[in-house]
Structure 1
């Protein structure tokens, strides 16, 4: 992305020699924990190319990250200790500050906290793509005070995702799931300008069903978004684009028993996954594509009874010859659960950040790195 300094630019600005320089690297080590144990270190490993590039050139690297939502005060539940231990195994000698969100100055973007972050620092690197859609102190503050650059991970994320937005290969298919259409409204509207078709799964589909006048039983939906979904369907049709909705649903009947339905659910029924027919149809669309972006599961995949739709789509992402990008979050977790995360071209480290970059073409963290003219 033009205008954003790279690691090489930072090295040049610091005199062409990083030996002995103290570099603050904002990482995204917001990893999943279970009883204090890291269950997936993907985000830590993703930061290693940047950390190793700096340390190989003699820099003293200090990393900083948030973990969870500690609400601006120290909380042992969100201590960085497990991350620090794993980082010490992967990158010996690299420091890690305590959880940035233990201080309210982080989310509040307070000048005093920014000053503390850059105290004694010679340079700053943002490699936290997953947090770069937040105008938090550690993201937008340091570039105002010290020479700054984007890390290798941030650079790769931006290149891949803006490539989808600006240089798509057709047919280009977006696969969107999850619970709320309101969370993805902006990106759907933006993607309609670029993609050839959009596949809708997850509980989102029930709001679209309601917009079509179909009964949805007791399935989760957003009543205040029904009119918006009707408008999206009409807009897509007017643009010659296709929004693929499920033709069958898996869930529970009024008695709470496992059941399969068409796209009309009776009273008391609840949909939890796309059905096998829809999964097969969506697979066909994915297999015919040249580029696919996926964000959001097709159903409640954490429950094996309702994992089939997401598993089938994940397998299609692995099998297609298209260039495949998975937009972080639950989709990345599903890929990992089905052991297919190595079978796609790019797994983003940021769910919300990937959606915002696709929608707006920029992020607060990127604007900060470009300097005053880019903010």
Structure 2
């Protein structure tokens, strides 16, 4: 590893500025999903166990450099305290952080108010980063999900203090390295979702790094259309046909097999329980929509998984939100989960729809690793350098 972890740092009596991502969903003033909060607990507990004082830095929403009371981190305190089993003191201003009261100094865990209330954060202002650095002795980045942003608290701080990755950041980087950096082969990638246009960089990078690329969801329709097949009224980017053919050409040159649906589930209406039928991929009726991959397609995906050692998954294979168009995603995910549980497959997944689809399928718990990082996960898969990770390596 070219970056340090908490194991490499002497934290005794040190103030540890810890960048976390607790940008959680909230409704009526209550956190509705505390997953991101729960995932930072090991880092905070480790810092405390090593005699350090964690000073948490986080953002919430997009206040764009201004104080927006509705975006105060105060709303996260009950969930944060519940997850940690201890009190957390909110420091409402940087001035309060620079002049800690006796009570604040005695607190185990401190939380700075929304760092994006300050214009210097998103501007990555060196003076603002230095002001933050003066609050601590060590910088720990545990926010992989914000590592694709070159902000003061995600990138700038690493240039001012001894730096390391927190446990969640460490786990993300190790999982992604196992999936794309130094994977066990063969490697299968499953890429689904609505549009090819949003995943061009991803597909272009993957065809040069994986052995088999499974393309599903609405984007598979664009590839089918590019091959001259009629996709009826399906979601399809017909203007991306040339790009799809170029990706297929690039895959052929790299020795990457592309698996597209051999059969598809079609319907005239996009609703739960709609009348549907399975037809060959070449036989979509002109008045129908392709909403899922068919059983032959699933069998081919399962066969590819059976020979694979590593799986990286981003996006569903069909309209998973609505039954029965979740069948292909559920079946492939269940098989990947079983292989992972048996120790035959290293499976790494990420992206918003992906996490939702795998949770809905019941397969999520058996995947080797599921990233909640969203944009950062995608940019890593696209082969891009993430500023927050690069800064840790530089340190």
TM-score, normalization by structure 2:
0.84
* CA positional deviation for 1:77: 5.1
Q: 1:346 aligns with which of 369, 387, 392?
A: 369
Counterpart CA distance in 2 for 1:135 and 1:167 is 26
Corresponding residue for 1:289?
Answer: 308
Q: 2:264 aligns with which of 238, 246, 249?
A: 249
Corresponding residue for 2:281?
Answer: 263
Counterpart CA distance in 1 for 2:115 and 2:238 is 37
Q: 1:333 aligns with which of 351, 356, 369?
A: 356
1:344-366 deviation per Cα after TM superposition (whole angstroms, max 9, x unaligned): 11112323322322332632111
Matched, 1:147 2:170: no
TM-score, normalization by structure 1:
0.88
Change (3 A) 1:172 1:63: same
SS of the residue aligned with 1:175? strand
Corresponding residue for 2:12?
Answer: 18
* CA positional deviation for 1:160: 2.0
SS of the residue aligned with 2:201? helix
Change (3 A) 1:289 1:37: farther
* CA positional deviation for 1:25: 0.8
Q: Is the 8 A contact 1:162 1:361 kept in 2?
A: no
1:292-348 deviation per Cα after TM superposition (whole angstroms, max 9, x unaligned): 111111223222342222212221221123111112422122222333322111112
SS of the residue aligned with 1:304? coil
Counterpart CA distance in 2 for 1:297 and 1:42 is 21
Change (3 A) 1:343 1:77: farther
Q: 1:324 aligns with which of 338, 347, 353?
A: 347
SS of the residue aligned with 2:355? helix
Change (3 A) 1:284 1:80: farther
Which consecutive residues of structure 1, in runs of 5 or more, have no partner in the other structure?
12-16
Counterpart CA distance in 2 for 1:337 and 1:104 is 39
Corresponding residue for 2:219?
Answer: 204
SS of the residue aligned with 2:9? helix
How many residue pairs get aligned? The number is: 365
Counterpart CA distance in 1 for 2:22 and 2:252 is 42
Corresponding residue for 1:67?
Answer: 60
Counterpart CA distance in 2 for 1:102 and 1:217 is 49
Corresponding residue for 2:171?
Answer: 156
Counterpart CA distance in 1 for 2:70 and 2:23 is 13
Q: Is the 8 A contact 1:173 1:286 kept in 2?
A: yes
Change (3 A) 1:307 1:107: farther
SS of the residue aligned with 1:124? strand
Corresponding residue for 2:79?
Answer: 86
Matches within 5 A, 1:155-304: 155-253=170-268, 257-260=274-277, 261-264=279-282, 265-304=284-323
1:22-56 deviation per Cα after TM superposition (whole angstroms, max 9, x unaligned): 21111122333444443432222221221111011
